[in-house]
Structure 1
Amino acid sequence: MGKEFRNIDIKIHGQVAILRFNRPEQLNAMNREMMDEIIAGIEQVNQTEDVLVGVITGNGRAFMAGADIKEYTNQTPEEFQSFQEKGTELYRCIEEAPKPWLAAVNGFALGGGFEIALACDMILASQSSKMGLPEVFLSLVPGGGGTQRLIQKIGINRTKEILFTGAQFTSSTFEDWGIVNHVYEDSKFEDEVLDFANKLARRPTKAIGELKKLANLSLSPIDFNKKIAEEGRVVLDLFYRDEAQKAIQKFMAKT
């Protein structure tokens, strides 16, 4: 599928693309080269019309254990700022994609790795996976939107616990807290993820894209009435499209 990469791998399974972090010896820790490849890979999937759902996962024992500390600590101030700005671009590629992206957390998802998962539309996790934001142990704070996206998903009290303690939390705990959508057995994880993604790929493409935009719009600071107006505009636009009219007629024929 297009460009070859060194630090990630992309495989197409029908209408589903699986982007896999591929630095297993480093627990998929993200350096600058890898970040560039992730952005390029996500954009490549976003631009592939036949692919309707993207999945992000990791190779080996980790989803991603955050930034590559060796490179992270040896950057000049200018390089460090550039790295942070690249990270913002990465999360935007996921959140503003016209199609859904799922995080398939197969192991450790810490720091920037967990922030990538938070930027995805949903999180599917293996039973043994652990997630967290441990930056406090380095006298730092998350730099990839972790403080803000967590609050949007679960509220301020739980967010402060995750941030202040820097602890690693189990997938079952995060499922209870509303961060993880589904937890699957380790032995069945990849099959369950692909099955979920394939079900999503069978939903009407245009409607899914608009639903993603509307859901994200709900988190914006614009006036509530403008959000409702946008929802109404989308309903009218979709209703008169052939896809919706055919689906409505098919439904009516069954009743």
Structure 2
Amino acid sequence: MEDINLYTLLFLVIAGFIAAFIDSVVGGGGLISIPALLFTGISPSAALATNKFSSSMGSLTSTISFIRAGKVNFKFVIKFLPLTVVGSILGAYVVHFVSPDILKPLILVILVVVAIYTIVKKDWGKETLYKGLTRNKLILMLLLIFAIGFYDGFLGPGTGSFLLFAFLIIGFDFVQAAGNAKILNFGSNIAALVVFLSMGTVNFAYGIPMGIAMVAGALVGTNFAIKKGSSYVRVLFIAITVLLIGKNILNYFHVI
């Protein structure tokens, strides 16, 4: 039994590192970490809660790295933090009463639009063009940030990608958009985690070692993105968005 536990923890550590490496930059790490946790045999609710615990550790690490590198417009982002926190808490509660399946067709359509738009606009996000928010863009951002926060608590996978896309829309480059997104993603992670902790669904035996691995993965991933720049983040963003589309299609048709 000890050998099995050791191999299971090793598996989760490796999966956690890879998931955080990706998630630290463009989100989508749940594509790897949630299936890895489900593979251990714990319940879906425990897997979601444990992943939120571990990913919060990685998210904090990448957030600090982006701030230290000067890739976060902190004064701007902090104004939207309450929206994503409230949205996430609401989503985490609602998921206990409403099946997440109702959102999946809509999420699939949004992901396809995001992927096509990013691929077609090749120069998009290469440099920061943000000059401030017009009234219409402010209203759009308020709605988007709240909706994405709700989605993070309600379903989760791809939240970082959606947040990054929101900041690209208003003129940030890919690296700064990723840094700004991390602040809000961390806020929504913590908000949902508080709800999960209150319900006692976090598996700490798996969550702590996986979380430590996610700290390491987030450090490596964030530093790699900052050094490589926007072109690297753009390619990774498109790749993860396409993978999310594939996963949602397979889920929709009950293939996985």
When the two structures are superposed, what TM-score results if normalisation uses the length of structure 2?
A: 0.29
Structure number with greater Rg is 1
When the two structures are superposed, what TM-score results if normalisation uses the length of structure 1?
A: 0.29
Q: Which has the higher helix share?
A: 2
